[in-house]
Amino acid sequence: MTRRKLAAGNWKMNGQAAELAELEALTSTCPTPGVDVLICPPATLIDRMTGLLDRLGASTATGGQDCHSAETGAHTGDIAATMLADAGATYVILGHSERRQDHGESNADVQAKITAAWSADLIAILCIGETEAEYKTGQTLDILHQQLAGSLPDSADAARLVIAYEPVWAIGTGLVPTLDEIAAAHGFIRSALTTRYGADTAQGIRLLYGGSVKPGNATEIFSVPDVDGALVGGASLKASDFSAIITALEAAPAA
Ligand code: 13P
């Protein structure tokens, strides 16, 4: 099965209306990207960004960075998956390490959010990855196993699920695992998905690498088997950097 490559930008808590100009710059550099391009801005910008993309006619999607597991209710400050969809989002990032750390999100919380995202017809990007201490003590694959086991719902539609391997110690640090380490993690994730959902479904689920992806390292990261794209933080904020990453992904070997 061919998996469509995905270049996803996570703007985190960065960006106001003025930064939508970066999007215009991006779509003029990459007007018809040969890969799926996604930007997950702060929730306040999803509606405007989606409208802008529609006007520009670019084949680019918007997504949320989190959602609540309930559809409505007394949850001050939270956003339901249906609200993200209503604003124009088609994806949502779930279980990002910053949510797990800053908001104490457990694997069970993340599992409930994925179910909510699917009910709202959103594609869920599940983030998993080990901390620096876990990496240094050789626990990476154990942690990935635990996070997958606890966060994934019992059945899955490959078209609605993306997994992002983001080592916590590589996020925003400029540090990146070796290509062999990325290959081992992605191979492990693919085989865990095969055990869980069967080969047909597992082969259709896209696996992204995230953590200090930059124009200078994107080509070598995209050459690793089972890397179907990237979840990019800092470098997605600048159109010139993100478009260079998109170009590197377009040139990468097919999955
Ligand atoms: P950086 O690309 O800034 O390291 O962030 C990665 C990330 O957390 C994407 O979700």
Read off the tokens for 80. 């339901």
Residue 59 pLDDT = 79
Mean pLDDT of the chain: 96
- 129 Cβ closer than 6 Å to some ligand 1 atom: no
Report how far apart, in Å, the C-alpha atoms of 208 and of each of 106, 134, 145, 234, 254 are. Answer: 21, 20, 16, 16, 14
Question: Residue of the nearest CA to atom 2 in ligand 1?
Answer: 233
Q: What percent of the chain has pLDDT over 90?
A: 91
* Whether pLDDT at 230 is above 80: yes
Burial class (CB in 10 A: 0-12, 13-18, 19+), 139: middle
CA of 41 from ligand 1 middle (Å) equals 13
The residue-averaged pLDDT of 122-133 equals 98
Check: CB of residue 75 under 8 Å from CB of residue 123.
no
44 Cβ contact list (under 8 Å, min separation 6)? 16
CA of 102 from ligand 1 middle (Å) equals 15
Our answer to whether residue 75 is catalytic in this structure is no
Q: What percent of the chain has pLDDT over 70?
A: 100
- 241 Cβ closer than 6 Å to some ligand 1 atom: no
Residue 28 pLDDT = 87
CA of 213 from ligand 1 middle (Å) equals 7
- CATH no., domain 6-251: 3.20.20.70
Our answer to whether residue 186 is catalytic in this structure is no
- What does the longest C-alpha to C-alpha distance in the chain come to? 50
- What's the pLDDT tens digit per position in 24-57? 899 888 888 899 999 999 999 999 999 998 887 7
User: Residues 22, 98, 105, 166: which is the catalytic one?
Assistant: 166
Domain ranges for the chain:
6-251
CA–CA separation, 178 and 193 (whole Å): 23
Reading phi first (left if > 0) and then psi (alpha if -120 to 50, else beta), residue 78 is in beta
User: Residues 22, 96, 105, 186: which is the catalytic one?
Assistant: 96
CA–CA separation, 135 and 126 (whole Å): 20
- 9 Cβ closer than 6 Å to some ligand 1 atom: no
CA of 144 from ligand 1 middle (Å) equals 18
- What's the pLDDT tens digit per position in 64-113? 999 999 999 999 999 999 999 999 999 999 999 999 999 999 999 999 99
**In which band, very low, low, confident or very high, does the pLDDT at 5 lie, cut at 50, 70 and 90?**
very high
The residue-averaged pLDDT of 186-196 equals 98
* Whether pLDDT at 194 is above 80: yes
